[in-house]
Amino acid sequence: MAMAIQKRPGFARPHPNKAWLRFRRRIPLLAMVIPGLIFLAVFNYYPMLGLQVAFKDFSFNSGIWRSPWTGLDNFYFLYSSDFWQSVVNTFTLTFGRLILGFPAPIILALIFNEIRSPVYKRLVQTISYMPYFVSWVVVAGILQAFLNMDNGVINQVLRLLGMHAVNYLGKPEFFKVLFWGSSFWVGTGFGTVIYLAAIAGINPELYEAASMDGAGRLAQIRHITLPCLMPTISILLVLNMPGLLSAGYNQILPLMNAGNQSAAEVIDTYIVRMGLGQGQYAFTTALTLIMSILSLFVVTSSSYVSGRLGGTELF
């Protein structure tokens, strides 16, 4: 006797009207996404059409679309000694900034976490955050007030002591120290925000159990706090890696002059000088395209390495 085969409810094809009903119920949510998609399309994706300038002999009279194609002629910066000097300066400054500036917020956040007085803790945190909200132009003005060769505070003290004034702002050997020091002063305090939030999310029962086992504060930091912070540290380290290709022209331009340009000229200032200063828009577009590709490669490769080492991956 043939038995009737019953279809499982899970394999039944949904009625066409059900899919339409689900879509219609989600129309308000989808409508909320539309402005964001339009913003991304207009300000993030549509400007990418301008990358074709890197392969054209661009002129304002012809415009982007009617300028003649030149192939790879605009990539001649790969043979420029000035470009490679700016690359060396960029990596020198950014590697030092990463080595000094990345572990500093972690250490400071651990110190803040050990402060038991809430009032004193909030006061110290507020003071450490304040430099982050100071413009780099103001930071440059502060450095000028202290280090100016003619009327800077430090050089006036040196003259009172019978010593010669030092041109701190005009010598290449001092620029690296100024860059690293100002980056450390501005970014360390604000960098603790994420780490303090991650520390606040650690289960306090872990500390209670460790304390009952006789673990001191240093042992708790080593065996509980730092391991729990490792996912956050891994993510932030991966996100900081593209910063190796960009020293930040807004920090360097106010401090750069003819005396220290050999050490202060980085890729960012090189692009600004060649693009806005000399009007070589196709040249700087080609250079920016290469730097964007390198930044993407650095992020993806560092994320992959972080995942293989037991950390957290972005992708």
pLDDT in tens, 123-177: 998 899 899 999 999 999 999 999 888 888 998 998 888 888 888 988 888 999 9
Which residues in the chain land under pLDDT 50?
Answer: 1-5, 7, 10-11
pLDDT at 91: 92
Which residue, 142, 250, 146, 128, is CA-closest to 186?
128
pLDDT at 231: 86
pLDDT at 2: 46
Q: Which tokens belong to 99?
A: 């080595």
pLDDT at 5: 46
Per-residue three-class SS string for 174-225 = HHHHHHHHHHHHHHHHHHHHHHHHHHHCCCHHHHHHHHHCCCCHHHHHHHHH
Domains for the chain: give ranges and CATH numbers: 80-308 (1.10.3720.10)
pLDDT at 19: 78
pLDDT at 106: 93
